[in-house]
Structure 1
Amino acid sequence: MESTFHGVMAFALLASMLLLGSILRNRIALFRSSLAPASIIGGLLGFILLSLGLIPGFTADDFQALTFHFFTLSFMSLCLTGKSKNASLSGGSVVRGGLWLTFIWTISLGLQGVIGYLVIVGYDAVTGSDVSAWLGAIVTHGFTQGPGQALTYGGIWEQQYGIENAAQVGMIYASLGFLVAFLIGVPVAKKFIRSGLNANKASNIGEDFKSGFYKDEPAPTCGTMVSHPANLDSLGYHIGLLGIAYLITYVWLSFIQTQVEGIAFGGINLSVLFSFNMFFVHGLGVCVLMRMVIDRLGLSHRVDDETLKRITGSSVDFMVVGTLMSIQFAVLYELLTPIMLVTVVVTIATLIGCLLLGRLSGALGRERALTAFGCCCGSTGTGLLLLRMMDADFSTSVPKELAFFNLAIVFTNFHILFFFAPLVPSLGGSMYMLVFGGTALVFLAGIPLLMMRRSAAAITPSLRVKESLS
């Protein structure tokens, strides 16, 4: 049985780093004041211990698979979760607000890729180096999309197109994205709150927030029991739902791979789009369909959304720790200068873009700007964590807008996420710029239309008031 313990101990190490991170956040004043999440603290601690060889028998490679699957679980559990019912402070139409978040994210996805590509091209021209420009382009999958997609697409680029270290560099960008999201996002949120610029005035950075733990009372509840514990524990029941989704996705991919093997469309090998590296994309679709069936059959009472949210949140925490512990110090050291150049330029461009476009979105613009920055530097979970600082009990409409955004970006970026991203190195520089840069420009050109809709939405209520008085 001894041989079965290695993978389990890797998971135990992730859990231990999370616990240590939460204790350090609670005990060290610097971490409390910075509001650094336990996952970031624990992940950095794990990275340092691995780099110094202080965790014998384990390397960064041992945590890549766990990171991939926790990322997949976070997305699948999110798609199984029903619609939010809590939103008392409205910034207008949830759809319109969600479209603002969607446009910002889509612009960021294209723009970050183009910036990363051009920075490496410029770096090579100035220094005479021979760093692959695709190692700059993958920054958008690490920043705007997160570690799962960086690992997914980077792995495909390595295996299919020979881009050395693409997956590892993507993971490094994802880790740096999480760091800058909090190093920059938290101070911006603090400034908004202290200036009274957030809509939810009940939000404040209290002692519970700083310490990372709730006091004995009052503490929020953590979901509702669906199944009787004498039959099946409710948490186990919800994990079972995700297990079914995982099995369906696995069977589907195993079947479809045999059907598309050797088939090319427009010179593109279709097997790339149906590889297990793309598991999260197909799993997302399976969970959306499962939730539709559950709702149509009137069985939504058999699914507790709060429990699924806890699974999503826990998966994100484990994913962040795993991402940081998956970094290979040798690769980071070798490519440190170009990686940091890309990170700095992309971070500045993303921050400026999110703040400007968020302000244009009208009411709750600052909440949207901060949420979008978190999403464009880490993941939806990062955006949600930053939003929680300004809207502690999620009483604004932005959380519902974020739920709409998660679905909308699949459609607005379908061509990139499902088709071009896995095939990027085969496109060539010009076509890459056309696809990614063109997508950003198209949606940037659509911003005035959203502003017109905002104006119309603001005028309509005043007309109704006039009509009621006449």
Structure 2
Amino acid sequence: MAFALLAGLLVVGSVLRNRFSLLRNMLIPSSIIGGLIGFILLSLGWIPGYQSSDFASLTFHFFTLSFMSLCLTGTSREASLSGGSIMRGGMWLTIIWTISLGLQGVIGYLVIRGYDAITGSGVSEWLGAIVTHGFTQGPGQALTYGGLWESEYGIEHAAQVGLIFASVGFLVAFAIGVPMAKRFISRGHNANKASRLDENFRSGFYPAQNPPETGRMISHPASLDSLAYHLGLLAIAYVITHVWLVFMQGVVVGAEPGGINLSVLFSHNLFFLHGLGVCVLMRLVIDRVGLSHRVDDESLKRITGSAVDFMVVGTLMSIQFSVLYALLAPIVLVVVSVTLATFIICLFIGRLSGKLGHERALTSFGCCCGSTGTGLLLLRMMDADFSTTVPKELAFFNLAIIITTFHILFIFAPLVPSLGGWSYLAIFGGTALFFLAMIPLMLIRRPFSSGVAAKGSAS
């Protein structure tokens, strides 16, 4: 029934966008409209028997499915022609995200310290620091680290505040990201010209005459429907990932080299990360044995897009209003400060990245305010059929950020309240500064002709 509520609210959101000119002109995704309606209904108690926590697990699995299906999707010829090196583009996204992770934490910490100094309120500065796990990482990580801070170090409401930041981050991502995408498209900055601001784009529906067709049948319906077949491929990847995690949990139990608890790396909370690796290997095997004709990439793209829509609705319906109301002023100050800094970083560095720089700027802003799924949803506005290399860059980026932020996510983040203010600022701020210093190196390595093109594009 929780899934049925999510699906029904998506339809309600799509109808409302189609019917009301204000929603059409603002280009608000149907998932945001449906999610906000669900949040309001839950807050008013108008969905008897359900509360926000009932939608958390669905949100987690749709986020996981969106990227596992993306990694199972092959690289089309069009994609290979439109964006250059997937690894290089993914490194630009990785640098932006890593800078954001450190910078947001520092800003959140300092804003709450300043708020306490002015008002004498005594709000824990760590409630500001957790903004980076809510914005840059998303609801799952915010709840994970917030729960640890709350249970181990007594930081009251850390988990709930983390979830609030994650939820508000989604709203911020679309409140600013949608107008940004609209501006880029209207100025012709999008490489995928299939994405344009026509009436179909605004209304959210295609006309009855000559609507676009997508996907092809792989399995004969007398045996197995093609959609069920592709869902089955993802299910196999899910089972393999689960078995792998259970096996490794038994192998590393009690192992803590250098004080690092290895069991955390193989927790089911990181299911999506291991699932990405499984799907990349599955696709590699499928292509190597000559069975790529047995997988329809367009069908997998539709699964990716659908999972993103469900994830956004579920996240917004996970917001709990009571804590938000109690800490409204400091939360607003942190959100405004972090949003402004993130927007500047994403726009500036994204446009330096060369071809597809506008797509990367928009996608990075979505990732650094909501989650990777939010970045995908914003990207879909400029790259409707995922024909550029940016979706694949996102897959690489999800693996690369584990390396660039390993010291934060797996060593320091769980221990943040025990670090002390100066140590925290040195670790998180130092990480942001280190990767900021890598930008000139990325520009030096780029060929001169690409630099010229990038300047022309940025102008």
Q: What TM-score results when the alignment is normalised by the length of structure 2?
A: 0.88
Amino acid at match of 1:40: I
CA distance in 1, matches of 2:418, 2:300: 39
Taking the aligned partners of 2:238 and 2:387, their CA distance within structure 1 comes to 33
1:52 aligns with 2:39: no
- Alignment CA distance shift 1:301-1:437 (3 Å): farther
Query: Residue type of the partner of 2:46?
Result: L
> In structure 2, how many angstroms separate the alpha carbons of the residues matched to 1:85 and 1:396?
10
In the alignment, the residues of structure 2 paired with residue 60 and residue 194 of structure 1 have an alpha-carbon distance, to the nearest angstrom, of: 38
> Which position in structure 1 is the counterpart of 2:379?
387
Report Cα offsets for 1:365-399 as digits up to 9, x if no partner. Answer: 33332222222222333333333444445565545
**Conserved in 2, the CA contact under 8 Å of 1:78 and 1:312?**
yes
Separation of aligned partners in 2, 1:232 and 1:255: 32
Flag the 1:277–1:233 CA change in 2: closer, same or farther, 3 A.
same
Which position in structure 1 is the counterpart of 2:441? 449
Compared with structure 1, are the counterparts of its residues 413 and 206 closer, same or farther at alpha carbon in structure 2 (3 Å cutoff)? Answer: same
The residue aligned with 1:227 is 219
Q: Aligned partners of 1:224 and 1:282: how far apart in 2?
A: 29
In 1, Cα distance between equivalents of 2:371 and 2:350 = 18
Conserved 8 A contact 2:305-2:377: no
Partner of 1:330 in structure 2? 322
The equivalent of 1:41 in structure 2 is: 33
Matches of residues 107-118 of structure 1 in structure 2 within 5 Å?
Answer: 107-118=99-110
1:172 aligns to what? 164
CA distance in 1, matches of 2:133, 2:96: 15
Kindly provide the CA deviation profile for residues 336-363 of structure 1, in whole angstroms up to 9, marking residues without a partner as x. 2222111111100011111222232334
State the number of aligned residues. 453
Partner deviation per Cα, 1:79-135 (whole Å, 9 max, x = no partner): 322224324874655443333222222211221122222222322333333433332
Counterpart code for 2:224: L
- 2:349 matches 1:357: yes
The offset of 1:66, in angstroms, is: 1.5
Aligned with 1:204 (options 196, 200, 224): 196
Greater shift, 256-265 or 323-332, is seen at 256-265
CA spacing shift, 1:234–1:392, aligned 2, 3 Å = closer
Q: Give the letter for the 1:222 counterpart.
A: T
Q: Aligned to 2:277, which of 273, 285, 289? A: 285
Please give the alpha-carbon distance, in whole angstroms, between the structure 2 residues aligned to 1:190 and 1:459: 25
Q: TM-score if structure 1 supplies the norm length?
A: 0.86
Distance, in Å, in 2 between the alignment partners of 1:446 and 1:433 is 20
Q: Distance in 2 between matches of 1:28 and 1:111?
A: 39
Matched residue, 2:69: 77
Task: Give the CA deviation at 1:50.
Answer: 0.8
Where in structure 2 are the equivalents of 1:410-425 lying within 5 Å? 410-425=402-417
Distance in structure 1 (CA, Å) of the matches to 2:139 and 2:26: 23
The Cα shift of 1:65 comes to 1.7
Q: 2:96 maps to what in 1?
A: 104
Q: Secondary structure at the match of 2:299?
A: helix
Aligned to 2:457: none
Q: What is the percent sequence identity of the aligned residues?
A: 75
1:375 aligns with 2:371: no
Per-residue CA distance 1:421-448 (angstroms, 9 max, x = gap): 4454454444433332222211110111
Q: What per-residue deviation string (whole Å, max 9, x for no partner) do you get for residues 276-297 of structure 1?
A: 3333333333333333333333
Within 2, Cα distance between the matches of 1:388 and 1:204?
A: 11
- The CA distance in 1 between the partners of 2:413 and 2:382, in whole Å, is 34
1:171–1:323 CA contact under 8 A, matched in 2:
no
Q: Tell me the SS of whatever aligns to 1:56.
A: coil
Question: What are the Cα deviations for residues 262-320 of structure 1, in whole angstroms up to 9, with x where unaligned?
Answer: 44333344333333333333333333333333333333332222222222221111111
Q: What is residue 467 of structure 1 aligned with on the other side?
A: none
Once the two structures are TM-superposed, the CA of residue 407 in structure 1 deviates from its matched residue by 4.2
Matched with 2:456 is: none
| DSSP-derived class of the 2:218 partner | coil
Shift of 1:20: 0.9
Report the alpha carbon displacement of residue 34 of structure 1 after superposing the two structures with TM: 0.8
Structure 2 residues not aligned, in runs of 5+:
454-459
Q: 2:56 aligns with which of 52, 64, 71?
A: 64
Task: Please give the alpha-carbon distance, in whole angstroms, between the structure 1 residues aligned to 2:236 and 2:389.
Answer: 32
**Is the contact between residue 139 and residue 162 of structure 2 (CA under 8 Å) also seen in structure 1?**
yes
Cα distance in structure 1, aligned partners of 2:18 and 2:227: 27
**CA spacing shift, 1:396–1:83, aligned 2, 3 Å:** closer
Q: Distance in 2 between matches of 1:409 and 1:62?
A: 30
Distance 1:335 1:449 in 2: 42
Please say if 1:134 is aligned against 2:123: no
Corresponding letter in the other structure for 1:117: Y
SS in 2 for 1:326: coil
Which amino acid letter does the alignment assign opposite residue 295 of structure 1? D
Measure, in 1, the Cα distance between the counterparts of 2:337 and 2:164: 16
Query: Greater CA deviation, 14-23 or 236-245?
Result: 236-245
Q: For residue 235 of structure 1, what is the amino acid of its counterpart?
A: L
Change (3 A) 1:202 1:41: closer
For the 8 Å contact 1:147–1:323, the answer to whether it is kept is yes
Aligned-partner Cα distance in 2 for 1:373–1:101: 10
Distance 1:74 1:389, change over 3 A: closer
Q: In structure 1, list runs of 5 or more residues that go unmatched.
A: 1-8, 462-470
Cα RMSD after superposing both structures: 2.8
1:224–1:379 distance in 2 versus 1, CA, 3 Å = farther
The range that moved more, 156-165 or 331-340, is 156-165
